[in-house]
Structure 1
Amino acid sequence: MLEHRTLREILPPKALVLAPMSGITDPPYRLLAREKGVDLAYTEMVSAEGLVRGNNACSRLLEGYLSEGPLIGQLFGSDSAVLAEAASRVQEMGLDGVDINVGCPAAKVVKRGAGAALLRAPMRLREIIKEVRNALHIPLGIKIRSGWDAKSLNCLEIVQLAEDCGVDLVTIHPRLRSQRFEGEADWGLIRMAKEQTGLKVIGNGDVRAPEDAVRMLNETGCDGVMIGRGSWGNPWIFERARGLIHEGLD
């Protein structure tokens, strides 16, 4: 059996985390980010159905360098049995954790009942998490948004559901699905989630500068900061943020 890192080993205090970004966070991008200070990285979002069907393109998205550090494979789907089988395959490939996407706003994902659509189907999400949890002995996380729209802001309820079902780690992008990437991320929801749960919480959203990473940690008490679009063309954001967080540089 492969030896896997524990959650404590892959998520150090005040961790800097590279977000899963389709078409972007391939192995070379992740390696560059790690050289600049990333503690934990996610793969691009992978179709659970495609992986189970043996789609080579899906399998390649989960590959990394032998020397690569902690890596979580992110899956999307809506069928609990398929997601559990896909998660088991991620584990067999030697990755350090599995993340279920519960936040992607893309229409092509949502119309399949996956991504942010699961925010509107908590009973189905509960079934998915339980079945995936039973298939794994490595850390399990979910990445969520604050809700589907302004009338269904249920982020905190989803966090509680996740904890009840055995999730280890929750990443919160506190925007509604209806906002996509517009407006401001409500970091107050990250703080509220951290205060109510025993799970590890990673904050995400509107971290565009190194100082934003420090501010998110201070304002929310989250266990790590996930940076995505803020790193586009600017991998040095991780290096500078690490300096500010751990060395107190100006």
Structure 2
Amino acid sequence: MEYSGHYTFFPFISEWPCNAILTKNNGEFATPNWPNNYPANTDCRWIIKGPIHAYITLRFTKIELENHGLGLCNNRLDSIHVYDGETTDSERIATLCGSRVPATYASTSNVLLIVFKSDERVELSGFHATYRFIFPAIRTTASPFQKEKITENPPVSSNNVPYTTTFVPSGLPDTLLTSQQNMSRSKSISTTSAATTPPVSSEKSLTAAYGEPTKFPLYAESEKFVSQVIQTTRHVMDIN
């Protein structure tokens, strides 16, 4: 008798490593001989170790172990132990047995340890699990005191005298200078100049020499408001 048709052959993985250190970004591991029965008196350990800033998620896709009864798992029968660290001294976050597939586990560091032990009485298919590294987004926060340039091309007055380019902390008004800063600047800059001081109105507004009004914010009477317009002629004008 002859047969015709298409046949598909599935590869069988006869050996899963019993002790391994897993360092790829994602992967899988299983008990020896999976999906066939694991040997008696098995003691396997898998260390999942990622980069220093990574976290690990662990998911069991299939579990078929000896049932301990009463829904409790103990160390005397076949069981899986998951540790949140590299050794058994780390916090144990799970002890698994029977056939119930748990939820996904997540580490608090870049290392997980999985230990599987079996006794000499009952051998079943064991378990299969997958893992994946999680890389948190790296945040960079600019300093509130980072300096930024106010203007690339400073304006010039009617006398072709350019105003100096000023640098102030990012996020602060360019008209806001502390009294201490102004006093220290006033001491270091000569007040001798041939430039004409623009008129100042009662609203504390300043009309620049090139004709455009520049408004300054009003402050409470208890606060001393000082602003400066510094020209390359080294003239300092204070408005109190």
TM range (shorter): under 0.3
TM-score scaled to structure 1, two decimals?
A: 0.21
TM-score scaled to structure 2, two decimals?
A: 0.22
Structure number with the higher strand fraction is: 2
